[in-house]
C-alpha cells in the first residue's frame, strides 16, 4: 500500500485535476479486492452515495495497532478509500482517534474538487473509522 506521505507528495506534483483524478483511480485499482464475505451491512459505511465497505482489524492491547481493508463499487470512491486506509492503517487507535485526515485532504485540495456527495461520503468514512478507534481506546 502506498503511504499517505507518498500520496500527498504525488498529489502536489500533479498540477492538473484530470491527472489527479486519474491518480486517485489508480490508487483504487491497486487496492486489494475485499472478499464478498466482508461486504456485509455491518461493514458498509452509511452516508455514502456509492457502496463503501470498511473492515477493521485491531491488534492486541488497550491501544492496538489498527489495520483496515476497504472497497467501493465506484472507481473514484475506491481511490478515496485507498487514501483513507493509507492514512489510518498501521496506526494506533489513539492516534487514529485524534487524526482527522479530512484536514490533509483539504490541504491538497481534494475535498473542494469532489462532488458534495463524494465529500460527504469521505467524511462519513473518516468519522466511522475515528469513532471506532475512540470506542476501542475508551474501553
Residue numbers annotated as active site: 48
Residue 91: what are its φ and ψ, rounded to 5°?
Answer: -105, 160
Which of 87, 116, 113 lies closest to 16, judged by CA? 113
Distance in angstroms (rounded) separating the CA atoms of residues 78 and 21 = 12
- Where does residue 56 fall: left (phi above 0), alpha (psi -120 to 50 degrees), or beta otherwise? beta
Q: Can you read off the three cell numbers belonging to residue 12?
A: 502536489
Amino acid at each position: 500500500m502506498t503511504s499517505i506521505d507518498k500520496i500527498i507528495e504525488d498529489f502536489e506534483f500533479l498540477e492538473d485535476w484530470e491527472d489527479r483524478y486519474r491518480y486517485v483511480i489508480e490508487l483504487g485499482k491497486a487496492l486489494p479486492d475485499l472478499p464478498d464475505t466482508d461486504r456485509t451491512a455491518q461493514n458498509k459505511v452509511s452516508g455514502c452515495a456509492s457502496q463503501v465497505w470498511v473492515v477493521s482489524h485491531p491488534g492486541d492491547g488497550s491501544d492496538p495497532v489498527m489495520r483496515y481493508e476497504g472497497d467501493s463499487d465506484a472507481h473514484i470512491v475506491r481511490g478515496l478509500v485507498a487514501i483513507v486506509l493509507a492514512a489510518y492503517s498501521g496506526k494506533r487507535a489513539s492516534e487514529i482517534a485524534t487524526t482527522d485526515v479530512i484536514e490533509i485532504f483539504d490541504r491538497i485540495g481534494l475535498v473542494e474538487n469532489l462532488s458534495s456527495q463524494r465529500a460527504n461520503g469521505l467524511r462519513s468514512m473518516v468519522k466511522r473509522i475515528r469513532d471506532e478507534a475512540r470506542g476501542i481506546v475508551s474501553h
